[in-house]
A and B are shown apart, each in its own frame.
Chain A
């Protein structure tokens, strides 16, 4: 049975609440933003703020052998050796020397077993935390977190995908949660969000006048008719203006030279730096993707180059978050859609392998230096604590304080937040 007061939890009320605070912002005017976006907050102060998730998505499927679960087996292990890390007893691939020194901040899950080996389906699986039956689309983690960590007065989108340059639009990844929680792509430069600069021929004064007239009309309209939808619409313009006023927020060239240098010149480094700036602003969910990890040929040579591209910036990202007191409230996940085969094929490649693979994470509520699960010496089967995307989904949400066994109430319908038949990996939660 649906709850009898099904309309009382509707997002109309949420909008109403948001609008109330939104009007306060409008009232405070232009200067009010400065405090919210100010940098250099003390570590303890930051720690009290809202939580965030950063997903680093290695698109295509990184090899667990060449990363988090190296094997010395002659037949399957490949040419790279395992190196010790900052946690005694944990070894990872020698391709990750910088990350190895951050292991005391991280946790590994080496017993992922998900069953799907098609890129598209597998991505949908790990991003949505569900095994989709047809006829139902589930929202992705980003949208769920944007909704779960929603705050009425928050001026930025809750789910941001980073881009190195260019401007992006709204994604279609929020399913039944609605477009308000869908991803917004943002480039790592001023105006990195589409239409965030005044068009040619409109001066700031001119913009001011037209906005004043708009608000004048809205105010008069509100005297005649009141509804949360109407307020939400007015509020979206306020939000847009705040994004425009703060377009430097997306501009990583505002960072000191040394900081920019420390993240490196690569696209990935730039996106990570943008992610850090966004996490500082308490954006609930940020995704940083790194593409091309699908090495059916020359797996080892490619991993050598690709891992080199991410190892140092990633390790620096964790270091930087720690220094700024952000890692305590930020969950960082290194995600991919599946692992690679133990068998090395004729072209020295590894093919898709969803039966036994790994995921790494760090920060916010996650046990430091933990390793969950085990695979056999050849890396063929999971031999201990087999888990899948559904357990992980619960775990991510719990780590940032979202009750993953609860429900979202959307327009008179009730949706379980995560797959109700599963639960989190408890030993991973600090």
Chain B
């Protein structure tokens, strides 16, 4: 029996929040002074912490290759490049508008959903495969095609149990990790909250002060009841079962003397559910009780609570993590980096930027396309990677003195934070105390419940014993009454016989004997009747005691629930305090980072002045040493600027992007696309309306091309260029087996053979060396060759005219194997 089931309560704050968002959105639309778009605000935040020379935007074609790779996972086809070039030519000065059009157009394509299904699949499963990754990808792809919110996708992933064909793929996250409790805990922490708390499994994290052991066990308490269930009725298909209990205690391996603490189901930043429902007995707690060959389903699922709480818009760690990961995908480095190390000692490079993105994620209701649109529209995303020439730069307007006064300013701001931090600390202490007190009340009731449950067990046993006793007496009563009935009959008969044979002494003796026995039996029957009545009374009493006890437990449970409300309220208070604490922490860390950046710049400027003075004074020995110091200061300065997104980041192509880029450059898609188009035409002959539906046709063709692409290129590239399953997938590495495969793999060589409309065949047909060079460069690295490169190509073509086909294959290989092709411009 469910005491109270109020899942809906969980949604209460959600609704409030959504309403607020709605109001905000409406306000945006209606007010004239609406805030600038997110893309502009990103640029403002980034500019606020940068004092260097202006960094130009990437060139139009650089931008084109960048945005294609990022949004649809491949470089642009030559036709797409040419279309963009002619647009730029026709509309001079409208580069910005054209870039926006390209972004919007790409986000609208089916190819976008396909690419981001892969990006998100890699993010969630980190290339672990158990449930087919294809199923999971197509699940995500459909989700994205339907334009559903990202947090709800995460909710499905955390809540799914693998049943139901439609939702089965969502269970990949846990099933691919074998539902191992520690691994589930670690990866929920890493992937959904950006906190790698595995070292807090056995003790508080030795290096990271704010990863507490209680945090690890907080998440573990949500998932440790979940287990992998192999359904033997369906070929041992893996599913997720869940138990209704699983109390957890933990002790530090470093401090065993401190004893064990009970684990509370609570997420980082104090996200926790309202009071949990309670069941009078274990059997009441299940929809399907755990038995052999049956998947247990509890009435109240902790894992579903996790799904709701984890993806709740008020969950800051979820929002910050998701925003940071989306950003890192596009900019190469997370605002917090590594992306699963959000903690005080590894502060965001710009907390203001992280807050902005995290809040915006909520405001736009976790709309992936909107987030990507805004980020890619920003100047920050579109910045050139080329390092600025600092020789001719005069330094910031105010010079060194200006920087110094800014440092004074920052210090003042830092000082002003201190009293606020102190008072907030007090508040936090109070809130924690209140929470602990409320929790202690609940724990006390829980203890009582445990005692009462034991008593209930005793009473139940007692009642069963009394019932057994009663049954025993009733059996005896039945025998006695049968005897009595027989004796009555026999005695009556014997009276009749004695009347017929009054002289027979022996018969008289027999009759008297029967009479005596009858009297005894009658007395016994009366006695046993009394006994039955008495026992019935006892049994009733025992039954009443059981009922009373259940009632007592129910009452306690209700009381616990009521007290649980106080806990929930105390948690809300604490959570709000934590949010404000985070805000202060963010301010402090931004001031401090700003200080470091200003100091780095100031030191560099001062050193440069010294070098110049020494040179002017003709002190060559001195100036050499100073120059070296200047060089190292400059390296430091540029690193700082690159890290804070003032200069474009250098990123390698992901294995998926490398696959897409290779396939597209070689134009292997041509015959596939033509075949798909012809098929579309012929299958929709009868239905011209459908046939001319551009979107549907695009989906059909892009599905055919994608299938062919992965069939052809994936095997050679993806595994070689990706980190092992289960490891973070965002790092760059270059190994010799990759280079050997590109140089020598027979398959790779096969792709370079001229065939049905591919790049090599088309290049062979191009007689004009100038056009040849343009086609080669635009198809691969999406830029026009410069003069030197044109000359080089022209000379090679004329020198090796005799083996033209071979030369062209060499040139195409050279471009594909180049560093320029391997990295995002």
Shortest CB-to-CB span from A278 to chain B, Å, is: 15
Give the chain B neighbours of A1 by CB distance below 8 A: 207-209, 345
Shortest CB-to-CB span from A306 to chain B, Å, is: 33
B338 sits at the interface (CB 8 A) = yes
Per-residue CB contact flags for chain B residues 379-417 toward chain A (1 = under 8 Å, else 0) read 000000111000000000000000000000000000000
Give the chain B neighbours of A241 by CB distance below 8 A: 743
Give the chain A neighbours of B338 by CB distance below 8 A: 411-413
In Å, the complex CA distance between A184 and B735 comes to 10
| Listed stretches A188-196, A284-292, A293-301, A356-364; interface member | A188-196
Shortest CB-to-CB span from B189 to chain A, Å, is: 10
Task: Report A1-19 residues with CB < 8 Å from chain B CB.
Answer: 1-2, 6-7
In Å, the complex CA distance between A207 and B739 comes to 13
Which of B180, B182, B817 touches A237 (beta carbons < 8 Å)? B817
Which of A135, A176, A209, A240 touches B736 (beta carbons < 8 Å)? A240
Task: Report B186-226 residues with CB < 8 Å from chain A CB.
Answer: 186-187, 198, 201-202, 207-209
Whether A199 contacts B385 by the Cβ 8 Å rule is no
Per-residue CB contact flags for chain B residues 776-800 toward chain A (1 = under 8 Å, else 0) read 0000000000001100100010001
In Å, the complex CA distance between A206 and B739 comes to 17
The count of A-to-B residue pairs whose CB atoms sit within 8 angstroms is 176
A178: nearest chain-B partner, CB-CB: B733
Which of A217, A229, A413 touches B820 (beta carbons < 8 Å)? A217
Shortest CB-to-CB span from B810 to chain A, Å, is: 4
A262 sits at the interface (CB 8 A) = no
Which of B743, B748, B810, B820 touches A240 (beta carbons < 8 Å)? B743
Whether B650 contacts A225 by the Cβ 8 Å rule is yes
B364 sits at the interface (CB 8 A) = no
B731 sits at the interface (CB 8 A) = yes
In Å, the complex CA distance between A206 and B814 comes to 11
A236 sits at the interface (CB 8 A) = yes
Whether B650 contacts A227 by the Cβ 8 Å rule is yes
Which of B182, B209, B733, B745 touches A135 (beta carbons < 8 Å)? B182
Whether A179 contacts B735 by the Cβ 8 Å rule is yes
Whether B734 contacts A235 by the Cβ 8 Å rule is yes
B343: nearest chain-A partner, CB-CB: A2
In Å, the complex CA distance between A144 and B728 comes to 19
Shortest CB-to-CB span from A336 to chain B, Å, is: 25
Whether A414 contacts B811 by the Cβ 8 Å rule is no
B75 sits at the interface (CB 8 A) = no
Whether A199 contacts B819 by the Cβ 8 Å rule is no
Whether B736 contacts A184 by the Cβ 8 Å rule is yes
In Å, the complex CA distance between A133 and B201 comes to 10
In Å, the complex CA distance between A134 and B735 comes to 28
In Å, the complex CA distance between A217 and B813 comes to 12
B344: nearest chain-A partner, CB-CB: A1
In Å, the complex CA distance between A194 and B430 comes to 65
Give the chain B neighbours of A214 by CB distance below 8 A: 813-814, 817-818
Known contacts A1-B209, A157-B736, A196 near B744 by CB under 8 Å: yes
Most buried by B among A137, A172, A214, A226: A214
Q: Give the size of the chain B interface in residues (CB under 8 angstroms).
A: 68
In Å, the complex CA distance between A25 and B766 comes to 38
B652: nearest chain-A partner, CB-CB: A229
In Å, the complex CA distance between A232 and B813 comes to 19
Whether B736 contacts A137 by the Cβ 8 Å rule is no
Which of B341, B650, B743 touches A412 (beta carbons < 8 Å)? B341
A405 sits at the interface (CB 8 A) = no
Task: Report A189-216 residues with CB < 8 Å from chain B CB.
Answer: 193-202, 206-207, 209-214, 216
Whether B819 contacts A218 by the Cβ 8 Å rule is yes
In Å, the complex CA distance between A193 and B743 comes to 13
Which of B207, B735, B740, B814 touches A210 (beta carbons < 8 Å)? B814
B11 sits at the interface (CB 8 A) = no
B724 sits at the interface (CB 8 A) = yes
B807 sits at the interface (CB 8 A) = yes
In Å, the complex CA distance between A182 and B738 comes to 13
Per-residue CB contact flags for chain A residues 270-284 toward chain B (1 = under 8 Å, else 0) read 000000000000000
A239 sits at the interface (CB 8 A) = yes
B579 sits at the interface (CB 8 A) = no
Most buried by A among B736, B739, B817: B736
Whether A226 contacts B819 by the Cβ 8 Å rule is no
Known contacts A216-B792, A221-B820, A230-B650, A195 near B743 by CB under 8 Å: yes
Shortest CB-to-CB span from A315 to chain B, Å, is: 34
Which of A2, A136, A176, A212 touches B346 (beta carbons < 8 Å)? A2
Whether B735 contacts A198 by the Cβ 8 Å rule is no
Whether A195 contacts B819 by the Cβ 8 Å rule is no
Task: Report B129-182 residues with CB < 8 Å from chain A CB.
Answer: 180, 182
Give the chain B neighbours of A220 by CB distance below 8 A: 788-789
Give the chain A neighbours of B822 by CB distance below 8 A: 230, 233
Residue contacts A-B, CB under 8 angstroms, 13 given: A1-B345, A2-B207, A134-B182, A137-B727, A197-B744, A199-B748, A200-B749, A201-B749, A210-B809, A210-B811, A236-B739, A240-B736, A243-B740
Contacts A170-B737, A237-B817 aside, 16 further interface pairs with beta carbons under 8 A come to: A135-B185, A137-B726, A199-B746, A206-B810, A210-B810, A210-B813, A211-B814, A214-B817, A216-B814, A222-B819, A229-B652, A230-B822, A233-B652, A233-B822, A237-B743, A414-B207
> Which 4 pairs between the two chains have the least Cβ-Cβ distance?
A213-B814, A240-B739, A210-B810, A227-B650
